Structure 1
Amino acid sequence: MPAQRDYITRAGWQMLRDEADHLWRTRRPAVVRALADAVAEGDRSENAEYIYRKKELREIDRRLRYLGRRLDQLVVADARPDDPGRVFFGARVTLIDEADHEHIYRIVGADETDAATGAISLHSPVARALLGRTVGDAVAVSLPGGQTEFEILAVAYPG
């Protein structure tokens, strides 16, 4: 069975790349300088600044290793689909639920989900139910609160 690909939008990939650059070029050098200053103070066993900076440096290095591996694994999916009326990765989908509440979701990779902006993972129950559907389709989704039915009002691809 082939390995599952991890997709990400171009903007999401750039956000992770910018985070890695910021950590490497700005944050890490500042912590290394602060650590060197703490070492110059002498006794390291009771030096709270030294202990804190060592921990902070480990966390930065851990995040940099993760981002390096993750950026190599991700596949940027920024091509427009042949049928822009269907829901695929990167789509912004407007739905209406049974209570006539409107919901707007954007289907993105797991690394760029954000509930506040409506960015949901490609692997979420709602996204899986929407994939391949078109405007006017009714979709039943099993959510933690029970079965919910949505109707697709609009599909758009930003950018």
Structure 2
Amino acid sequence: MDNRTNPITPQGLAALKARYDHLLGTERPAIVEIVSWAAGNGDRSENGDYLYGRKRMREIDRELAFLARRMKSSRVIEPSEQSDKSRAWFGATVTIADEDDEQRTLTLIGDDEQDPSAGKIGWSAPIARALRGASVGDLRRVRLPGGEKEWEVVEISYPDERAS
């Protein structure tokens, strides 16, 4: 996969679009209204509503630009349509076990939709890079901040097309 593209699931892209639409259609107009009201109140140098509103508008504009860039570079990949389901590729749910036979289940998804606490690992995370292309039974070594760790791939699955 090309590093210049942003692999993402259809659900992840929908979430980015929803956030973009919410910022553009709801939050920004509300802040514009507050800023214009505050600007009409006179001295802007000591007007908290005006200063905060302008600051918040800049934050929203930055986030809108970021989201637009991410969506433009996105490459939607449907995990259930992966051609080689015997290996861990984008969208795979992989169960791994460490030396102590403690198992973790991870889903390899786009960086914009990652949630490590829920086992959703971004495609460019070190453990996801190590698992790319792995088959059941493969040992994969990952260099983490706490040191190097080795995992064995126990199971690989992909979402069912009908469940999408």
Which residue does 2:143 correspond to in 1?
142
CA contact (8 A) 2:6 2:70 kept: no
Counterparts in 2 of 1:18-97, with a 5 A limit? 18-78=18-78, 80-97=81-98
Separation (CA, whole Å) in 1 of partners of 2:50 and 2:21: 25
Which residue does 2:155 correspond to in 1?
154
Separation (CA, whole Å) in 1 of partners of 2:5 and 2:144: 24
Counterparts in 2 of 1:3-18, with a 5 A limit? 4-18=4-18
Superposition deviation, residue 3 in structure 1: 6.0
Superposition deviation, residue 7 in structure 1: 0.9
Which residue does 1:113 correspond to in 2?
114
Structure 1 vs Structure 2 CA RMSD = 1.6
Q: Give the TM-score of the pair, scaled to structure 1.
A: 0.91
- Runs (4 or more) in structure 1 with deviation over 3 Å come to none
Superposition deviation, residue 40 in structure 1: 2.1
- Residue 35 of structure 2 aligns to a residue whose secondary structure is helix
- Residue 98 of structure 1 aligns to a residue whose secondary structure is coil
Q: Which moved more, 1:70-79 or 1:50-59?
A: 70-79
Which residue does 1:122 correspond to in 2?
123
Separation (CA, whole Å) in 1 of partners of 2:31 and 2:86: 49
Separation (CA, whole Å) in 1 of partners of 2:62 and 2:148: 40
Change (3 A) 1:3 1:131: closer
Separation (CA, whole Å) in 1 of partners of 2:148 and 2:44: 58
Superposition deviation, residue 93 in structure 1: 0.7
Which residue does 1:102 correspond to in 2?
103
Number of paired residues? 158
- Seq. identity, %: 42
Change (3 A) 1:61 1:78: same
